[in-house]
Amino acid sequence: MNKILFGRYVPGNSFIHKMDPRAKLVLSLLYIIAVFMSNSWLAYGTSFLIAIIIIGSSSIAPKFFWDGVKPLIGVILLTMIIQVFFGVGGQVYWHWGILSITSNGLLNAIYIAIRFILIILVSTVLTLSTSPLEISGAIESLFMPLKKLHFPVYEMALMLSIALRFVPTLIDETEKILNAQRSRGANFSSGSIMTRLKKLVSILIPLFESAFSRAEELATAMEARGYQGGEGRSKYRVLNYTKNDILGTIFMIIATMSVLLLRNWS
C-alpha cells in the first residue's frame, strides 16, 4: 500500500535540498522544455548529462529514482511500440497493411523513451527533495500575479496543500476498511472482473463517506480557529532566494542554451 512514491519526500541537506522551491519548479520546467527541444543524439546526450549532474547534486540514493521510473515502464513501452509500428519515413524494413517498421519510427521510439525517462528522473528529483508543503508554497507564490485577474490563488494553494496532506490519511483509511471487509470474508483478489468491481463498492462507499465527513470536520475546525481566507495571512515559511538558486539558475540557463545549440547538429 505504502509503495506510492508520489509526494514522498526524502529529507536531506544537499545543494538541491537547499534551493528555493520556486527556483526548483521553474528550472524543472525549463529542463523539460530543453528535453522536448532536443532532436539529435548530441542534444539528448547533453540533456542526459544534465540529468546526471542534477541527480548527483541531490545526494538521494539511486534506488528511489528506479522506484520512480519502474511504475511507468509499461506506459513507456506502449508508446515505444506504437511509434515503432506506426512511425513513417526513412528506410522501410518491414511492411504489413498499415503497420510498418521504418528507420524513422525506430529512431523516434528511442527518442521518446529517452524523453520520458529524463523527464521522470528530473521531476522525481523535484518531488524527492522538496516537501509537499514547499511545493504548494512555491505554486502559490508563482501564481501570485494572477491575483490581479481575480484568480483565487490562496484558495488554490490551500486546496493543494490539504489534498497533499490527506493522501497518507486516505491510504491508511483504505487499508483499515479493506481489513474490515476482508474479515467479513470479502476476497478482493479472486473472481471475475464484475464480481471484483462489485466488491470494490464495499470499499469505495465507506471511503467517500469518511472523506466527506473528514472534510466537514476540517472546515469546522478551520472556522473555529478564525480562518477567513488567505487575505492578509502571514507565512510561517517565508521563501527566500539564496546563492544556491543563483548558481542553479546560471547552470540551467547555460545547460539549456547548449542543448538548443546542439539541436540539428549531427
| End-to-end alpha carbon distance in the chain | 47
Burial of 1 (0-12, 13-18, 19+ CB in 10 A): exposed
Asked if residues 33 and 43 have their Cβ atoms less than 8 Å apart, the reply is no
Cβ distance to another protein smaller for residue 7 or 152: 7
3-state secondary structure 170-188: HHHHHHHHHHHHHHCCCCC
Which residues are near another protein by CB under 8 A?
Answer: 2, 173, 176-177, 179-187, 189-190, 201-206, 209-210
Three-state DSSP state, 92: strand
Cβ distance to another protein smaller for residue 1 or 149: 1
Shortest spacing between CB 203 and another protein, in angstroms: 8
Three-state DSSP state, 259: helix
**Which grid coordinates belong to 119?**
523527464
Cβ distance to another protein smaller for residue 203 or 239: 203
Cβ distance to another protein smaller for residue 82 or 200: 200
Cβ distance to another protein smaller for residue 28 or 127: 127
Shortest spacing between CB 170 and another protein, in angstroms: 13
Cβ distance to another protein smaller for residue 141 or 181: 181
Cβ distance to another protein smaller for residue 90 or 191: 191
Non-local (6+) Cβ contacts of 78 within 8 A are none
Identify the H or E element spanning 101: strand 99-102
Shortest spacing between CB 209 and another protein, in angstroms: 7
Shortest spacing between CB 138 and another protein, in angstroms: 26
Burial of 160 (0-12, 13-18, 19+ CB in 10 A): middle
Shortest spacing between CB 139 and another protein, in angstroms: 28
Shortest spacing between CB 169 and another protein, in angstroms: 13
Shortest spacing between CB 167 and another protein, in angstroms: 16
